[in-house]
């Protein structure tokens, strides 16, 4: 996703001189070509994310479309006051890009684990929160963001995420994408969990279970209609996110279902409300958090088996 993001921005900057990239003294393996090609549209703010955010707001209010870029929590939690007061309050055309959502920088420890960012950012008025599921969604998201003057938070994986969408995709900010049809349960995924969700659904299909997979690439504004339709169709809804169980996608979906009077089964698959003290690579930490393919498949299967599907579907369809 990271490489796709910078390539897409590189292409857009060629014909839109408003597009500006500000980095916090990192990412040179991927931003060097952009800096050389567009020196008047690039700025290294140094290790000073609060200043980076303030400069971005000022440049946006002067007519630029500004992308700030750093890893994990640095462009978000480190400068949340500037995001709130300078960007969101003034509705500045700034797009905050965080690379390495969740445990992507796992071996560097909790300071580099972005596991509360969705909850914090989506609570701010006026900002749109996007976490694409693969490189295809990343490219389409960047294109859409440039054409929308709203403040944005773009949460990306680190690198190497596979392409899930092999056919043309109708991508709209705030509208979910049904990746896979199913009737026994619905998995609503955001960000880099999409691959594992699809794999888990495929594993369960062999065992006789039909699981729908939805890519909820936009966490705010959330696609309310897609959530309610999924509940009515399957009667069992699970959210999957590489984020704390507090305040992220699962909490947003739960609000919609509860307020609608949804009578079915709902469950979050997310990280526990605690810091990780384990040390290891990305996949190891995902496994500890129950976000690997096998753990997701087991949770879905157990949830389906405990549910009285026929009664739930009938009640959900009546809501």
Please choose, from the candidates 255, 132, 145, 234, the residue with its C-alpha nearest in 3D space to the C-alpha of residue 193.
Answer: 132
User: What percent of the residues of the chain are helix, what percent strand, and what percent coil, each to the nearest 5?
Assistant: 45, 20, 35
Contact 145, 102 (CB under 8 A): no
The answer to whether 97 and 52 have CB atoms below 8 angstroms apart is: no
**Distances in whole angstroms, Cα of residue 1 to Cα of each of 8, 65, 101, 164:** 10, 20, 11, 12
Q: Which helix (H) or strand (E) holds 42?
A: strand 42-44
Choosing from 49, 137, 203, 241, the catalytic residue is 49
Mark whether 49 is an active-site residue. Answer: yes
Phi and psi angles of residue 76, each rounded to the nearest 5 degrees, phi first: -120, -80
Q: Where are the alpha helices (DSSP H) in the chain?
A: 2-13, 28-37, 49-61, 80-82, 117-122, 135-146, 194-206, 224-234, 249-260, 282-288, 293-306, 309-317
Give the active site residues: 49
């Amino acid at each position: 996703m990271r490489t796709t993001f910078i390539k897409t921005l590189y292409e857009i900057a060629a014909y839109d001189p408003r597009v500006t990239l500000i980095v916090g003294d990192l990412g040179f393996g991927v931003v060097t070509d952009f800096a050389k090609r567009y020196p008047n549209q690039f700025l290294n703010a140094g290790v000073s994310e609060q200043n980076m955010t303030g400069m971005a707001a000022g440049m946006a209010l002067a007519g630029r479309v500004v992308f700030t870029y750093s890893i994990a929590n640095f462009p978000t939690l480190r400068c949340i006051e500037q995001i709130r007061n300078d960007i969101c309050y003034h509705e500045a055309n700034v797009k905050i890009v965080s690379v390495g959502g969740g445990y992507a920088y796992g071996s560097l420890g909790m300071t580099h684990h972005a596991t509360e960012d969705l909850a914090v950012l989506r609570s701010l008025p006026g900002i749109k929160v996007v976490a694409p599921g693969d490189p295809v969604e990343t490219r389409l998201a960047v294109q859409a963001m440039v054409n929308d003057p709203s403040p944005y938070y773009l949460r990306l994986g680190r690198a190497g995420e596979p392409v899930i969408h092999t056919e043309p995709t109708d991508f709209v900010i705030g509208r979910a994408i049904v990746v896979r049809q199913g009737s026994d349960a619905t998995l609503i995924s955001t960000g880099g969990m999409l691959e594992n969700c699809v794999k888990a659904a495929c594993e369960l299909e062999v065992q006789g279970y039909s699981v729908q997979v939805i890519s909820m690439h936009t966490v705010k504004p959330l696609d309310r209609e897609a959530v309610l339709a999924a509940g009515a169709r399957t009667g069992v809804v699970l959210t999957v996110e590489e984020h704390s169980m507090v305040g992220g996608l699962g909490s947003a979906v739960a609000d919609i279902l509860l307020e609608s009077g949804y009578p079915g089964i709902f469950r979050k698959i997310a990280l526990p409300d605690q810091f990780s003290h384990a040390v290891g690579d990305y996949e190891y930490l995902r496994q500890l958090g129950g976000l690997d393919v096998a753990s997701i498949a087991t949770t879905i299967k157990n949830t389906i088996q405990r549910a009285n599907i026929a009664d739930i579907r009938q009640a959900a369809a009546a809501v």
